[in-house]
Structure formats: structure tokens, C-alpha cells
Chain A
Amino acid sequence: MDPEILTSAILDGLLIGGAYALVAMGLAMIWGVMEIINFAHGDFMMLGALFTFFLFTSAGLDPIISALISFAPIFALGVIVQRGVINKILDAPLLTQIAATFAILLIIRYGVQAAFGPYTRRLVSGYSDIYINLGFTTVPLPKVIIFVTSLIVLGLLYVLLHQTDLGIAIRATSQDRRVAQLMGINVSRIYDVTFGIGVGVAAIGGGLIALFYPIFPEMGGFFALIAFIAVVLGGFGSVYGAYAGGLIIGIAESVSALFIEPALKDVVAFLIFIMIILVKPTGLFGRGD
């Protein structure tokens, strides 16, 4: 195989992986701190994409700024969902937790379909047609933007979790909820913030993905499954592991697309998913749960 084709496929996958990583990091954070698997995670991402689209088309705001702004409303929605639903099922049987977060998925996904129609929207902005020439290959600017943003968000999350009082409280809660409570940490508040940040980061991802990916109510399903793979790869609950997992899946996907029919690319992604949870259920960088 032509090494240049392979290199550009790897590069393209790495950039796309930034998008997957943005969605996956929030999922990992929620799982790590709250031990809740958020089945609706991809749908919060879709809300971010839709919000960005509407800010761009009706307010004329720059789509990148819109995507960053989308963090705020989705954060707020996340806090509401956490208070109204998640908080009530934290100690419920696992089957109830799955059913409840899956119900949130249905309400968001099909509520959006009911409110805004089942249409596919495309965000066509000034960024869409710009390519960066790297000599041996060209890369589209939107993908570079999303990759750079994912790195920045990763850095911000690191600073938040390790350099601030809030971050220390979040990590303490994730280690032991009861002891954290005894130390005077308002655990319920920590859960609000964690869930809000988790889905808010996914929303930023959604908003930026919208720069080159069609927006439709069910788009979150695919990204959620990818994010689950990334979280598994990264070892449950590790934000940094999930980030690496996202990049790995991006690369694996775009390289495998060189060898198989593109229409079946998603089948391969899901097969890889099942294989991974079979072969290494604690993840590549897992701490063994």
C-alpha cells in the first residue's frame, strides 16, 4: 500500500478521533465519579450540534463560538436531568438505571424529532471548504479545529481536576462517596457539576462535529456507541484513557475504511466494540474494575 495514503488515513483518523474523544471524556467522567452509565450521552451531544446550528443560522454567530457557547445550556440541562432523574436512581438496581437513562435518550432524541422534525440539517459555514496543505496531504480545517479543541478541553479538565478545590472534591467523591460526605463535601452538588460538565463537553463536541457532519435527531446513537468503546478502551472512568481511546478508534476506523466497503464501516466499528468488551473488558489502560 502507498505509504502516503496510509499516513493521510492515520492523520484523518487522528483528527476525527478528537471528536470521538470529546464525547467520550464526558461519558468517562460521569461513569468515574457517579458510576452511572449515561445511555443518553450521545443525545446531549446531538443537542449541542442542534444548538450550534440554530445559533449559527438564526443569530449568525460564528459556529465555533456557538459550539463553545452550547456548553452552557447543555450544562444547565444536565444539572436538571441529574437532579430530576439521576439522583433518584443512584442506588437503584442496575436494571432500573439502564431503563431510566435509556428513557432520557428516548425523550431527548424523539422530543427533538417532534419539535424540529426528522430532517437532516447541514451547517454550511466559511470553514467548510478550507483545507490545510501539509505537502503530502491536505486536511480539512474543521477537523483540525475539533482536534485542537479536544486537546484544549483535555488540558482544561486536567487543570480543573488537579489544580482546583472543586476538582479535588470531585476526585474525592469518585474515590469514596461517604468519606467525601464526611469531609464536608456536598456530594449532591458535586454530582450536579460532574454530570453537567460531562454532557456539556459532549455538547461542544457535537457543535464542532456539526462543522463537517450532518445534524439529525438520531445522530447521537452512533457517537454514543463509539464513546462507549473509547471508555472501555481507556479503562472505565479515566478521562485521559477515554481521550486516548477516542483517538485510537478514529485511527482504527479510517485505516480499516481503506480495506473494506465504506458502507459496512459501521458494522466493523460495532464488531470491534463487541470484541473489545470480550477480550479486554477492563480496557487497554484499565485499572481492572
Chain B
Amino acid sequence: MAGSLARINLYHATGIATLLVLPFLLDSIGMAFYVNMIFLALMYGIAALAWNLMMGYTGLFSLGHAVFFGVGSYTVAILALYYNVTPWVGLILAGVTAGLLGLVLSPPLLRLRSHWFTLATIALGEIFRLSFAHWDYVGGSSGLQMPISERRLYYLQFTGATIYSYIALGVLAVELIVLWRIVNSRIGFYLQTIREDELVAQTLGINTFKYKTIALAISAFFTGIAGGLYTVRFRYVDPFALFDLITISTYIAVAGIIGGIYTFLGPLIGSFIFIPVSEYVRANIVQAFPRIYGLHVTVLGVILLVISLFAPEGILGYLKKRREKR
């Protein structure tokens, strides 16, 4: 059966083994910068896989996933700061809050199609950014800082990114299993029918709104957990970093598009290609030309343009197409 996990091949096994060994290995030889890079690639990868349940499988291009990401981040921070809830639980609740938000937002959002959906998600991100910046309970525009605590395991405070990488790997494993089951189930096929032609889907008796809502809620759930990982790693949340159109919403989308939106693992691969490139550009080019602002985002734009003109199916999609041709 297509839904079984037994189809793990040599590539997958190598990938899993590498991901398991690499953070520990890099950490032990003192390359903390690269461990952090892996953590970021995992965090964005989790969000990009979730985003792609809407984009690649349902045909809804969201440029507002920062909303779910940010709400997840704030959930972990607020629970830990105000209610002393451990982020171990907070991470799950981050997903739940974001997922519920997805449910609440779905009646208005999912009535929209194509570019109107995309535009509305951009506007939604702006609404959340401006509202959180003016909301005192969540720290307003200065955000919330998580204090350093003695109870390190309880508050998930570790030096470096290594342990966080393994936590992210755990989340990723759960996400991959859940998403794989969904996209190979009846729901997944319904979603792809909606993507191809919503009218046909309705004619076939598919309750398109119901299945789009399911996709949005699950997508929001895992994006929220990715946001929660941001909080435990960086211990600081603020509305301008978290509800950002570029560094959150667009990064997630670009990771997905680079990897290939019509493939299952594409967004994860895309994240592992794009995040290191972006981090490299940020760390080296921006450091070399500190007075040239915005250069890394310009590079991001060029990458996105080249991909959409010459390989709109993404890297994994391109490889798949080439293999099928032979």
C-alpha cells in the first residue's frame, strides 16, 4: 500500500543517518555556527512541509504562515513566562493554538482562491504584526524575553543548538509520519483533486471546504510548533521578527518552492538548500559589506525568480521529471 512507511530507500536511510549524526559531530568539533544552521534548516523545514500541505497538495499559496509561526512562538513564551508551563508541553500547545487559529480563520480565508487568497494572507500577517505590536499583554513592540532559569531541563535551556536540533528532529519525525499518512489517505487525494479543479471536486461530491479546513488546520498546527521551537532556541519573541513577511512567510514559501512543491520531501530538501545559502550570505556577504542592507533579500529574490522561470517544479521535481524521462 502506498501509505506504508516501508518504502524507505537507501537515500532516505542515508539522510536520516546523516541528520542523526551531524549535529552531534559538528558540535564536538566546535562548529557551532553549522549546528545552528542545521537547527534553522530543520525549523524552517518543519514549517515548509506544513505550508506545502496547502500549496503543493491543495493549491493554496500562503504568504502569511508567519501568523501561525508567530502565534506558536508567543504561545510557548506566554505559557512559560506567565504560567510557568514547561515548553515541553508548550510546544504541543503552540501547535494546538495555531491549529485552532487556522480553524477560526478558515471560514473567511478559504472562500478565497488563487491570488486573492495569497493577498489576504499577506494582509493577515500585517494585521497580526500591527496588533501584537500594540498589545501590552504580549509585550507590545518590545516583545517578551525569557529569563535564564536554573531549571534548565524544565525550561529547555541549553547551550548551543545541538539539543534543540535533536528536539526539532523529533518533531520532524512525527510530522513526516502524520503528513505521509494524510497525503496518501483519502484526504490527500481529495486535496489534490481540489488543487486540480475545485469545481470538479465539488461535482464529485467532495466537501471542498471541509477538506481545505483540515489542510489549513494541520498546516497551522505544525507551523505553530516550528514557531515554538524558535522561542525555546532564541528565548526572545517580538512582533517584528515573528510576523515578518520576508524572514518567516517568504522564507518558508521559498524553501518549499526551491525543493519542489509537487513532491513530498521537496520543502525539507529546499530548506536544507536555502537556509544554509541564506545564512552564508547573511554571515559573509553582509559582514563583508555591512553598509549594504537588504542584499541577502535581493539574493533571495533572484533565487526565487530563477527558480520560477527555469525550474518551477523545484529541484526535487526536476530530478523526478528527469528520472521519469529515462
Q: Which residues of A contact B (CB under 8 A)?
A: 37, 85, 88-89, 92-100, 102-107, 109-114, 117-118, 217, 221, 225, 228, 232, 261, 263-264, 266-267, 270-271, 273-274, 277-278, 281
Contact = CB atoms under 8 A, between A and B. Distances in A.
Given A99-B257, A103-B301, A273-B123, A118 B308 contact: no
A176 B312 CA distance: 27
Nearest to B108: A278
B291 A117 contact: yes
A99 B295 contact: no
Interface residues of B, number: 43
A221 to B, nearest CB: 8
A117 B292 CA distance: 7
**Most chain B Cβ neighbours within 10 Å, of A99, A100, A104, A264:** A99
Contact of A278 (B55, B111, B297): B111
A179 B299 CA distance: 40
B114 to A, nearest CB: 5
A277 B115 CA distance: 11
B309 A274 contact: no
Interface of B: 55, 59, 61, 63, 108, 111-112, 114-116, 118-120, 122-124, 126-127, 130-131, 134, 245-246, 250, 253, 257, 261, 291-295, 297-298, 300-302, 304-305, 307-309, 312
A112 B307 CA distance: 22
B197 to A, nearest CB: 13
A277 B309 contact: no
Contacts of A96: 308, 312
25 contacts: A92-B312, A94-B61, A94-B114, A94-B115, A95-B55, A95-B261, A98-B118, A99-B257, A99-B308, A100-B304, A102-B250, A103-B302, A103-B305, A105-B301, A106-B304, A107-B305, A110-B297, A111-B294, A112-B294, A114-B294, A225-B122, A225-B123, A270-B124, A274-B120, A277-B120
Contacts of A221: 245
B66 to A, nearest CB: 14
The B interface is mostly helix, strand or loop, or mixed, namely: helix
B112 A118 contact: no
B134 A264 contact: yes
Given A89-B309, A98-B61, A277-B120, A270 B127 contact: yes
Contact of A110 (B61, B111, B298): B298
Contacts of A88: 309
Given A103-B302, A225-B123, A98 B312 contact: no
B232 to A, nearest CB: 29
Contacts of A105: 301
Contacts of A225: 119, 122-123, 126
**Most chain A Cβ neighbours within 10 Å, of B250, B292, B295, B301:** B301
B309 to A, nearest CB: 6
Nearest to B304: A103
Contact of B123 (A98, A114, A270): A270
